[in-house]
Amino acid sequence: MTSQPAARPAPTTDDDALIRTLPHLHKRAQSELLPDVWAYIDSGAGSETTVDDNEDAFRAWRILPRQLAGVTTVDTTANFLGLRLAAPILIAPIGCDGLLHPDGQRGIVEAAAECGIAAVISEASGLALEDLAAVAAGPKLMQVHARGDVGEVLALAERAHAAGYAALCVTIDCPVLGWRERLRRLSVTVDPAHFSGNHPDGRFAAELLGETGSAWTWRTLADVAARLPLPLVIKGVLSGADATHALDCGAQAVIVSNHGGRQLDSAPATLDQLPEVLEVIDGQIQVAIDGGFRTGTDWFKALALGADAVLLGRSVAMGLALAGRAAVAKVMELFLAELRRTMLLAGCARISDINADLLRRRP
């Protein structure tokens, strides 16, 4: 796979014509992106059971509106890790960003700052974390993988701290890339240069794309956490047992995640696992969630079930591939608009009004 533009036609600069709705975004991306780029963004592991389950988990819930609540405007502002955000949302780490569009992670960071939300910058970006820190002043977290040499991870954390990142997000569910069936059928290969902005020697990309897993354990992560200059966020927690380990490591937040169904096929849906994690965390630290979010109502349901914030990945990657920064900003604008409209219809004036009393299980 090369670093050519991901979309066939020249992207338009008219935001309204570019993406009208979130379903429209998905249809345009599927029809206009090159087949291998679309597969890279949209595919999951194996038979993509977990990808489907992530979305089905949201369909199992219905929103019960609070009628005649007298709500005329809504306030979506929220705090996550002490960061004041326009809404409880973060952009998930998106690797190989330069493959999708020349704007790459730079476009994501600029759009996030424009929308008042936080971006989690992928270790596997084609751009260095220092370069991205200089692009926009919005809040940013740095993501690293729980694999490889501990000293290199700590060195990256020191670089992120010096560059002004707010926290270190350690992804624990990617000791090796998942079995991406669709990518294999298309014989898609990825240029390691797209992964090497933070590791110019190319070793990180070779390890991530290789066939050998990681020797890290929870003890390794605890030792790393004790030496970090930044608050720790652990991404990839799916069980109460892992939530307990995360607390023991001193994490200040966890992200309930199955990597969007891209790692272990048949892993459970994140929304289904959220209650188990929340029960163990018991309000001691914040809990975010990703996986399967396609609409603002999905977002509402996750918050109602107890999540403090939501991460968006695939939709952002699709927007980036279609038309760079402008499309990423449009994607976020649509999510925010739908969330506000959902809150108005459900009778919620602020994020704290969203709770499980407003949900019902589908019969």
Distances (CA, A) of 27 to 24, 281, 315: 5, 38, 11
Those residues whose C-beta lies under 8 Å from the C-beta of residue 142, and which sit 6 or more positions away, are: 120, 121, 123, 129, 156, 157, 160, 165, 167, 168, 169, 230
**Catalytic residue chosen out of the listed positions 101, 145, 245, 259:** 259
Q: Is 203 helix (H, G, I), strand (E, B) or coil?
A: helix
Asked whether 214 and 147 are in contact (CB, 8 A), the reply is yes
Tokens of 89: 């949302």
Asked whether 90 and 311 are in contact (CB, 8 A), the reply is yes
Q: Is 215 helix (H, G, I), strand (E, B) or coil?
A: coil
Q: Is 130 helix (H, G, I), strand (E, B) or coil?
A: helix
Interatomic CA distance for residues 183 and 168, integer angstroms = 30
**Of the candidates 304, 325, 308, the residue with the CA atom closest to the CA atom of residue 316:** 325
Residue 199 is a catalytic residue: no
State which amino acid sits at residue 90.
Answer: L
Distances (CA, A) of 127 to 97, 168, 203, 341: 8, 17, 16, 36
> Half-sphere exposure of 49 toward its Cβ, with a 13 Å CA cutoff?
8
**Of the candidates 25, 91, 3, the residue with the CA atom closest to the CA atom of residue 323:** 25
Which positions are catalytic?
259
